[in-house]
Amino acid sequence: MSRPTSQQPIALKPRRYGDARGWFAETYSVQFARAAGIDVAFVQDNQSFSSAKGTVRGLHFQRPPHDQAKLVRCLRGSIMDYAVDIRRGSPTYGRFVQARLTAEGGEQLFIPIGFAHGFVTLEPDVEIAYKVSDIYAPDCDGGVRWDDPDIAIDWPLPETGAVLSDKDLSLPGLHEFDSPFDYDGHPLEPLSDL
């Protein structure tokens, strides 16, 4: 079983300091994270590039003992980012929150353990960076189907549809999924405004 967590998804917007040269921002600090309610030690940084608009990645998670919390931000372009509650026994099981993350705005989304993560690119040539709280462990890799009708995400896709990996096309639906994550007594709450 997963260790319990009382974390909720959290939308963040680090402050930018600008002048004639451009801007500077602390994109992560322990102090800023703790002040926002994130008390997680991150151990690895990941980055992805998606060339096509409408690229969907997700809905992914890692099972215990290498379950991961994530802190996601967009380095180039923009995405719609999703966190789906997959905690067994949660009254908000299968529900999600979403946040638009842009390179221009610097927004971030914290996704705690017990939530599946996915995003769709809103334009071509998008780069995403995310911190994770445990190492990548292929034997703990998991996910649920991106277009599961029980989750019912209304993905903002172009007319050409979603660009998907074979792996994401073969993920199980929510009703076929036996969650390794336990409900902690805190149902999913809406994200606060950025």
Residue pLDDT, tens place only, 153-183: 999 999 999 999 999 999 999 999 999 999 9
Residue 43 exposed, middle or buried by CB count within 10 Å (0-12, 13-18, 19+):
exposed
Using alpha carbons, list the distances in angstroms from residue 57 to 1, 161, 184: 26, 13, 27
Which member of 60, 82, 93, 117 is catalytic? Answer: 60
Catalytic residue flag (residue 130): yes
Which member of 93, 130, 136, 183 is catalytic? Answer: 130
Instruction: Say how many domains are in the chain.
Output: 1
Would 187 be classed as within a structural domain?
A: no
The conformation of residue 109, written as its DSSP 8-state character, comes to: E
Please check whether residue 51 is in contact with residue 57, taking contact to mean a CB–CB distance below 8 angstroms: no
Would 119 be classed as within a structural domain?
A: yes
Q: What is the mean pLDDT of residues 127-146?
A: 97
Would 46 be classed as within a structural domain?
A: yes
What pTM value is reported for the model?
0.93
- CATH assignment at residue 170: 2.60.120.10
Q: Which residues contact 82 (CB under 8 A, 6 or more apart)?
A: 58, 59, 96, 97, 98, 117, 118, 119, 153
Range of the domain at 108: 10-176
C-beta pairs of 92-95 under 8 Å, 24+ apart in sequence: 92/187, 92/188, 93/179, 93/183, 94/150, 94/151, 94/174, 95/151, 95/188
Would 53 be classed as within a structural domain?
A: yes
Would 26 be classed as within a structural domain?
A: yes
Catalytic residue flag (residue 66): no
Of the chain, the percentage scoring pLDDT greater than 90 comes to 91
Q: What is the pLDDT of residues 24-66, one digit of tens each?
A: 999 999 998 998 889 999 999 999 999 999 999 999 999 999 9
Q: Which residues contact 124 (CB under 8 A, 6 or more apart)?
A: 51, 52, 53, 77
Would 142 be classed as within a structural domain?
A: yes
Would 39 be classed as within a structural domain?
A: yes
Would 5 be classed as within a structural domain?
A: no
Q: How far apart are CA 67 and CA 4, in angstroms?
A: 11
Q: How far apart are CA 62 and CA 156, in angstroms?
A: 25
